[in-house]
Structure 1
Amino acid sequence: MRPPPHRLLPHVREADILGRKAFEFLSKNHLDLSPDNFELVHAVMTGRDKALRADFLALPKPVGQAALSILAQRFLPRRPMVSALKTTSEQAVGALEDLRKLLEGGTVTVAGSSDDGEDPMAALDVQLETCLDALQAVCKLVTAEPVEVAGQDHLTAQLSFGLPGYSALVQRLDDVFKEGMPEEGLSLMLCRIEGLEPLSRSGLVKVSDYMKNTLARFTHRLIAKNDAAYWTAPDELGLLIGASSETYLAQLGEKVSRVVADAEAIARKSIKSMPKLACRFGCARTDRPVPVAQLYGAARQSLQRAELTESLVPVFTGVSLDASTLRRYEALYGRRHRG
């Protein structure tokens, strides 16, 4: 007898929980959200492979992508099927196209009787066309490349202006804490641009680049000289600000939202299918040195609350370093943070 549809079986519920935890681990540690990474972390959490779990726990913290890739090569099963299917399909397409050229050039002739009124050459051509269509469809399935939407070229006619990533933020925070805290405190404000990350998957990669370049270029005009901006995730802008005033930070968030809205309006003039974008902000503030992971984690939690409540203003969190927090991060990183 089947269980009610709204109730999950225990093993299904457990798999769902582990899957969510694996995704959360990859996101928090800024690791690639790839099938191999997900499968590896999920396998570690199940604990069935003792050697894998032991080697994973022995990795230096925080876990880096290079170390995770090495584990994946050692422990994940090889799956050459898709690659082999793609290669075979491409070879078959090439062979059939070569045959068609030979037939069209008269190098190869087709034997057949014309008594029934059917042209054997035309019949073969139809069969070749059918085979080519089928094989090309297989190639598309195994490559899964999005079709670029027309009308994007003019959006990229500008100088590229990128921003450093999460590792640069970590280094910058370490330097700030060594040099001394700003008098007005320190804030890490995260801005998630909802709808930005799916652009490249829907054939709008040039629009995505345009939005990121525009936001990066104008962000430097909005923040002070000693402040800095980073891409802490593909759709997440991190602003490290030497201030803690809610009014000032909220106004900064409004300016960032306005830049995104203006750039979106320009892109939408030529790309009618462009999805709607929205900015959400989460901010962590501190007046003393704290572990980088703690500051970022607090800002990320604030951002999640802003997303859940669809808040148009930043959600703020204060961060301090107590004994229990120090022990937890000391265990995570294997060293004591010196404030």
Structure 2
Amino acid sequence: MKRFALIGAAGYIAPRHMRAIKDTGNELVLAYDINDSVGIIDSLSPQSEFFTEFERFIERGWQLKREKSAALDYVSVCSPNYLHHAHIAAGLRLDSDVICEKPLVPTPEVLDELALVERETGRRVYNILQLRHHQAILDLKDKVVRLARDGKYDVELTYITSRGKWYMESWKGDPRKSYGVATNIGVHFFDMLHFIFGKLQRNVVHFSDACKAAGYLEYENARVRWFLSIDALDLPDSVKGKKPTYRSITVDGVEMEFSEGFTDLHTVSYQEILAGRGYGIEDARHCVETVSVIRSAAPVVPRNDEGHPLLESLA
């Protein structure tokens, strides 16, 4: 049984990590968040210690480190994006491996800094890249590898996940903390595209504001038009009033269904990490580079057929 600590216990994604820790037969012994709305701990790990001050959390981690049988094996990081770097480094320096939510960090330069802390501590950082474990994604990757055709696939990615007014009032609506909508809701999709279609060759942004972004990506094996949004008005008519989220990927005009099967992917990710098959810093580098370019790129007018169809609604 491995001993876990969790940073960001009151966040949206934290219960999935708590469940993954429990379902893999391990123990959450220490948790931290500046907010105290963490009653979910009672149903998953009622014996866990909890702190609302980071200094007390870290001190407790150091105390546990003194006794080998009590020391932390892993620290899971579910905190706001802009704190990932500091919290990962703190976990490594507790002599623990670290499992962190996406996006791992904002830029390749910060990845290099984390790699340095890995070498200093002899510990590892793992990123939750859950779509790499989705069966529909694995099947498509297998198809692309098997067919090895000459031309590139034409891909259209659309992800609309409705968010209320609270979003812009939270850290997620502050680009200094979330790094913007393309990074916050899109980084794992960009990782998925790289995972399936190979290295990125071209990255163009067509639209970007606080609520949505769109652009064009060209990979070794695919030409991708993408659109990401947190605006419910962008939902297709067939979905409005029925579901708050719309995910769609079409490959050569054929839609690939992957709306289902997301629930247990964090548990699968933990199983893989615990078995020594987790995704580390270099696995995350490609998608970190992709979103870093998207954040800094000036939007341009689409050329030829590179614009996503939903761009017309933004004119």
Q: TM-score range by the shorter chain?
A: under 0.3
Q: Please report the TM-score for the alignment, with normalisation by the length of structure 2.
A: 0.24
Please report the TM-score for the alignment, with normalisation by the length of structure 1: 0.23
- Structure with the higher fraction of residues in helix conformation: 1
Q: Greater relative contact order (Cα 8 A, min sep 6): structure 1 or 2?
A: 2
Structure with max Cα Rg: 1
